[in-house]
Amino acid sequence: MAICKKMQSTPGQIFHGRCHCGAVTFSVTGPLRQIPACHCDDCRRLAGAFRAATAATRDSYRLASDASLTWYRSSAQVQRGFCNQCGSNLFYQRDDEDIMSVNTGMLDNPDDLSVGGGLFAQSHPKRGLLPATTPDLDDALSGRFDAS
C-alpha cells in the first residue's frame, strides 16, 4: 500500500461490486487505498484509457460469484482478473504482494474514494491526469448529436 495512503474513512466499511453483466459479484472490506490513476501501457490497453483502482489486502475480498472470472497474466509478475462474459476488467494482483486492486468502476458506490495521484502520467505529458479545472461537459450531452 505504499503507492497511495489508506483512506481514513474506509476501515471496516464494506464495498459491494460487480462486473457489467453481474456474473462476477464481490465485496471488499476497507481500509481501501486512495486511487492511483495509472497511465502505463499495460493499463492503457487493458482499461481502454488510464486505470483508476483502489486496493486492499487479498483477504479483504469475498467473491460471491466468480464462475466467469478469468485471470490473464499481463506481465511476468502481474495477473489481471476479468469477466469472460462481458469483458469487464476487475482485478489486478502482483505475485509478490498480499494486495489486490479493483477498478473503482466495479464498485456500486465508489463516491467515498479519492484519487491520490498519477502513475506514469509523465510518460504521456499531453494526456496526463485530468486537472481540477477540467470543464464539466454534462450540459453538452443533450446536444451531442447536433451537427454543429
Query: Of 5-13, 58-66, 76-84, 96-104, which segment contacts Zn ion by CB under 5 A?
Result: 76-84
Do residues 61 and 141 lie in contact, with contact meaning Cβ atoms separated by under 8 Å?
A: no
d(CA 40, CA 119): 7
Q: How far is the CB of 107 from Zn ion (least distance, A)?
A: 15
Binding string to Zn ion for residues 3 to 22, with x set by CB under 5 A, is what? Answer: ----------------x-x-
Q: Which three cell numbers stand for residue 137?
A: 461537459
For Zn ion, which is the closer residue by CB, 38 or 56?
Answer: 38
Distance of CA 12 to the CA centre of its chain: 20
The residues that touch Zn ion, with contacts defined as CB under 5 A, are 19, 21, 23, 38, 40, 43, 83, 85-86
